[in-house]
Amino acid sequence: MRFPENFLWGVATAAYQIEGAVNEDGRGPSIWDTFSHTPGKVLHSDTGDIACDHYHRLEEDLDLMASLGIRAYRFSVAWPRIQPEGSGLANQKGLDFYRRLVAGLRERSIEPTLTLYHWDLPQALEDRGGWTVRETSERFAEYAGIVYEALKGEVGAWITLNEPWVSAWLGYGAGVHAPGRRDISEALAATHHLLLGHGLAVENMRSLGGNDRIGITLNLSPVRAASEDAADTEAARLVDGNANRLYLDPLFRGAYPEDMLQHYASESDFSFVRDGDLETIAAPLDFLGVNYYMRHTVRAAAEEGRSRFPGMRAEMLIPPGAQTTAMGWPVEPDALTELLVRIDREYTQVPIYITENGAAFYDYADPEGDVDDEERIEFLDSHFRAAHEAIEQGVNLAAYFVWSLLDNFEWAEGYSKRFGIVYVDYPTQRRIPKMSARWYADVIRRNGPPDTNE
């Protein structure tokens, strides 16, 4: 099984999850600093203060990627390093860190893929309303312009937002992520202002010239009703609307889905949507980033869900017999094929990059110091095959970034969940490539997973 020539194999991380150094070189506080330092919000009161200490171990981590033959690295820029207060002049020391990172990647022939926003909103902007207010969209476009001016021409691909669904619904709806608000109408406003921020950022970056590729990353999940029962089918439609169509439709069809506007009519009058916003949001993109972790099998519930499906009478089931990861997520690689084919048939034929896929398992270093994560190898192998199947069915898939290079700060789960292909021994910060890292290096060399009879 071989992938197309020039297929880009990479790994992904995000700033707050790995960098640490939260008070250095002029960085300002973000909503995740505030949230993680608020008692009861993150498991074991973990914070990103030190994380993987990547800010100080940049060279070592770059060498690590080079030693594994990684071809592309997706990282995110911490907005509060660039604009500590969320607006105004750029903090040069913050930009310098990312200039060093990008130069270090290019020296090692690793293609930089840059995410502008992976959830670390400057606290100063949250204090003025965060993503519930339009001003944040405008500030985001300015910030995007600053980073673009500094690095255009050096970065292979630019991703405006990572997973706006998570920012809006887990941050403002369910309150399990920063900033920890619990209000459906705020989650709706945040959805719109995130998407508008994306559109305005694309506009601003394009106006600055250069031919860099620009896209957005969505977390998407195929949805299946648990039975043919009308109530379950209805629950599945709503969940699909919230998780997938609420983002794909405005970006690729220039309109919010009618059934979602109706469903949320009692929560919001959508007056935050102004004339011209949807045209801005639907500006043509060079690629679509897709983060895939699981399918949602849903059934109707007596009460509205809070965490996974805020504001919907729906709950998620683990299909009988399905394996689950340490996050409790079902492993369903065939749903990745289904998702990619659906995007291609229903939404867009721009190249798709899988910007994240991976899994947490209960990894440990054995007495010899090895981490034998066979489950992760099996997980990745099955998902690479599912992606290949989508290519066979005509999907224009161009890149695959494994989440994640390193074990890291898994948001509300703190350091308890390990997604890395490289194990991090947090007390010493030693990096130990897991068995999956060596296996992935081989996949990259061959341009596909090994034959099953090998």
Active site residues: 163, 356
Nearest one of 259, 252, 255 to 235, comparing CA atoms: 259
Q: Rounded to the nearest whole angstrom, what is the least distance from the CB of residue 89 to ligand IFM in the complex?
A: 29
Q: Where are the alpha helices (DSSP H) in 152-294?
A: 164-165, 184-207, 230-240, 246-253, 258-263, 277-281
Q: Measured in whole angstroms, how far is the alpha carbon of residue 90 from the centre of its chain? A: 25
Q: List, in sequence order, every residue forming a beta bridge with 443; answer none if it has no partner.
A: none
Contacts (CB under 6 A) with ligand IFM, residues 149-208: 163
If the CB atoms of residues 272 and 401 are measured against ligand IFM, the closer one turns out to be 401
Cα(247)–Cα(265) distance, integer angstroms? 18
Of residues 163 and 212, the one with the C-beta less far from ligand IFM: 163
Cβ-contact 385, 449 below 8 angstroms: yes
Site string for ligand IFM, 50-69 (x = CB under 6 A): --------------------
Kindly tell me which residue out of 172, 256, 403, 440 binds ligand IFM, with binding defined by CB under 6 A: 403
* Single residue of 332, 356, 363, 407 touching ligand IFM by CB under 6 A: 356
Q: How far is CA 390 from the centre of its chain?
A: 21
Contact between 20 and 50 (Cβ < 8 Å): yes
DSSP 3-state assignment of 419?
coil
- Radius of gyration over every alpha carbon of the chain, rounded to an integer in angstroms: 21
The verdict on 363 binding ligand IFM (CB under 6 A) reads: no
As a whole number of angstroms, the distance between CA 355 and CA 2 comes to 20
**Closest CB 130 distance from ligand IFM, rounded Å:** 18
Which residues between 271 and 300 bind ligand IFM (CB under 6 A)? 291
Q: Which residue is nearest to ligand IFM (CB)?
A: 14
By three-state DSSP, how is residue 315 classified?
A: strand
- Nearest distance in Å: CB 166, ligand IFM: 7
Residue 303-342 contact track with ligand IFM, rule CB under 6 A, x = bound: ----------------------------------------
Cβ proximity to ligand IFM: between 220 and 235 the closer is 220
Number of residues counted as binding ligand IFM (CB under 6 A): 8
Binding ligand IFM (rule: CB under 6 A), the pick from 181, 410, 420, 437 is 410
Residue 42 CB, shortest distance to ligand IFM, in Å, is 13
C-alpha–C-alpha distance, residues 81 and 28, integer Å: 6
Query: From the list 14, 15, 225, 278, which residue makes contact with ligand IFM (rule: CB under 6 A)?
Result: 14
Q: E-strand spans in 177-312?
A: 213-219, 223-225, 287-291, 296-300
DSSP string, 379-416: HHHHHHHHHHHHHHTT--EEEEEEE-SB----GGGGGG
CB of 333: closest distance to ligand IFM in angstroms?
Answer: 17
Enumerate binding residues for ligand IFM (CB under 6 A).
14, 17, 163, 291, 356, 403, 410, 419
